[in-house]
Structure 1
Amino acid sequence: MKWLKTRKQRWLVPVYMIFYVISFSLLERHVTADFHLITSPLDKYIPFCELFVVPYYLWFFYITAVLVYFIFYNESVREYNQLIFSLGIGMTLFLFISLVYPNGLNLRPAEFPRDNFFTGWVGSLYRTDTPTNVFPSIHVYNSVVACIAVRRCESLRKRRGIQISSFVLSVLIILSTVFLKQHSVSDVISAFVLNFVVYAVIYRPDWLFSRSKKKIADAEREMPVN
């Protein structure tokens, strides 16, 4: 895989996005009524707050901005590969989970507690985005991936304003998913679990495999000698 290490394969991003959009659109048509209901006991304690529609939509600009920077401005091929493969692995696993485990929500309010510009915006969101294929939350997963990429980027490490902005926006986006009733707490937790696994594979393979080798060595030492 030397070709991946020597230069950025920029074509991977648009090609994968075409694949993802087509696959997700097919899933949206396939998963309509017969699905597993995702819920958490904590969901009922989280109030609906329409103001979170702002960071929810900022997610699209956030992920796009991070991708544009790593594709065209950040010179590190390794950091670029870590970002796109973290995104690609997680989003592909999300598609697979949605296919074998059709899922959806029943959390959206029957009517909004207030009538204002933001609730109107949320209404538009509800009409265009079905409450299905939510587990794990891609809004949460991609936000964490982007935040990690920015945090670990050598050229951005000392840009304190960018680091703080990235972290705060990621937190607000994650909160927006539950305060808009777009996702259950279960979706958020599952996204973090997926983030942990993919992070270990992409960013810390030495730690991951050294732990596995240690367990194997310990098991071999405990085996009885004939």
Structure 2
Amino acid sequence: MKKSIQKAPYLLFLLVFPALAIVYSFLNNRSHKAFDISTSVDQVIPFLPFFIIPYIFWYVYIFMFLVYFWYKDTKVYLRTVLLIVVAELICFVIYFFFQTTVSRPIIQGDTFLQVLVQWIYENDRPYNCFPSIHVLTTFAVMLASLHIKNKHLITNLCIHVSGSLIIISTLFVKQHVILDMVGSMFLVTFLYGITFELLIFRLGEKSEPISLKNK
């Protein structure tokens, strides 16, 4: 308990995400020509309203597991926040200079799942698609979790199974296309190599457990 109280100020770094969301909202408008980068494979991916559940669960997923990282290992938590913030800032630059769009289906019906999809469509315009921030942040959490020691099997399954469902949900609810997903994963993998592997190597921490005591 005492250690958690000492680490509590680090949770304030989570406030950067509402600030990033505000920046995103300003960019989520069609200010110039938006490109459609969908492929023939995207055209055959079906629209499945059920996947709006994992898509919306993303909001809980990111917050929940960042707090979990904070509790288990502050250094992993801080590196994950840094990774996500840098990745999102790069996305914002891409959105400003290379805006893409996604063709969405017309929602016909008023079932609970269809209403949820329509709500997402109304609150997130079909721009700022490449790379996908949904995929980017989720994949960052999945990679960073590899550095959390002594995870319970159920926790590990929740991180990777729910994370995978969130990633593919972006395709099935027609919020993103395959290149959006691939671009996000490539960007995160590159930045992950810098924020985790390269920094750990340079700091000589590869053989040491990551904990507050190492500071």
TM-score (norm 1): 0.79
Give the equivalent residue in structure 2 for 1:142: 137
Give the equivalent residue in structure 2 for 1:197: 190
For 2:21, give the aligned amino acid. V
Of the three residues 87, 104, 109, the one matched with 2:105 is 109
Unpaired segments of 5 or more residues in structure 1?
1-6, 210-226
Pairwise CA RMSD: 2.3
Distance 1:155 1:83, change over 3 A: farther
1:92 aligned to 2:93? Answer: no
| In structure 2, C-alpha distance between the alignment counterparts of 1:206 and 1:78, rounded to whole Å | 11
Is the Cα–Cα contact under 8 Å of residues 151 and 163 in structure 1 kept in the other structure? Answer: no
| In structure 2, C-alpha distance between the alignment counterparts of 1:173 and 1:167, rounded to whole Å | 10
- Which runs of structure 2 are paired with 1:206-225 in the superposition (5 Å)? none
Is the Cα–Cα contact under 8 Å of residues 49 and 179 in structure 1 kept in the other structure? Answer: yes
For 2:24, give the aligned amino acid. F
Give CA-to-partner distance per residue, 1:157-188, whole Å, 9 cap, x none.
xx111101111101111111000001011101
| In structure 2, C-alpha distance between the alignment counterparts of 1:84 and 1:116, rounded to whole Å | 37
Q: Give, in angstroms, the shift of residue 206 of structure 1.
A: 6.7
Q: How many residues align?
A: 196
Is the Cα–Cα contact under 8 Å of residues 201 and 208 in structure 1 kept in the other structure? Answer: no
Give the equivalent residue in structure 2 for 1:178: 171
Give the equivalent residue in structure 1 for 2:158: 165
1:83 aligned to 2:84? Answer: no
Is the Cα–Cα contact under 8 Å of residues 66 and 146 in structure 1 kept in the other structure? Answer: yes
Distance 1:207 1:21, change over 3 A: closer
Give the equivalent residue in structure 1 for 2:207: none
Give the equivalent residue in structure 2 for 1:54: 53
Q: Give, in angstroms, the shift of residue 116 of structure 1.
A: 2.4
Distance 1:207 1:154, change over 3 A: closer
For 1:12, give the aligned amino acid. F
Q: Give, in angstroms, the shift of residue 135 of structure 1.
A: 0.6
Larger Cα-atom Rg: 1
| In structure 2, C-alpha distance between the alignment counterparts of 1:128 and 1:206, rounded to whole Å | 38
| In structure 1, C-alpha distance between the alignment counterparts of 2:19 and 2:118, rounded to whole Å | 28
For 1:64, give the aligned amino acid. F
Q: Give, in angstroms, the shift of residue 98 of structure 1.
A: 0.5
Give CA-to-partner distance per residue, 1:103-139, whole Å, 9 cap, x none.
2112x11344x65221121111111111000110111
| In structure 1, C-alpha distance between the alignment counterparts of 2:122 and 2:18, rounded to whole Å | 23
Distance 1:18 1:173, change over 3 A: closer
Q: Give, in angstroms, the shift of residue 207 of structure 1.
A: 9.7
Q: Give, in angstroms, the shift of residue 78 of structure 1.
A: 1.9
Give the equivalent residue in structure 2 for 1:219: none
Q: Give, in angstroms, the shift of residue 26 of structure 1.
A: 1.2
TM-score (norm 2): 0.82
| In structure 2, C-alpha distance between the alignment counterparts of 1:70 and 1:208, rounded to whole Å | 21
| In structure 2, C-alpha distance between the alignment counterparts of 1:97 and 1:38, rounded to whole Å | 14
SS at the partner of 1:82?
A: helix
Is the Cα–Cα contact under 8 Å of residues 200 and 207 in structure 1 kept in the other structure? Answer: no
Q: Give, in angstroms, the shift of residue 149 of structure 1.
A: 2.2
| In structure 1, C-alpha distance between the alignment counterparts of 2:96 and 2:133, rounded to whole Å | 15
Q: Give, in angstroms, the shift of residue 190 of structure 1.
A: 0.4
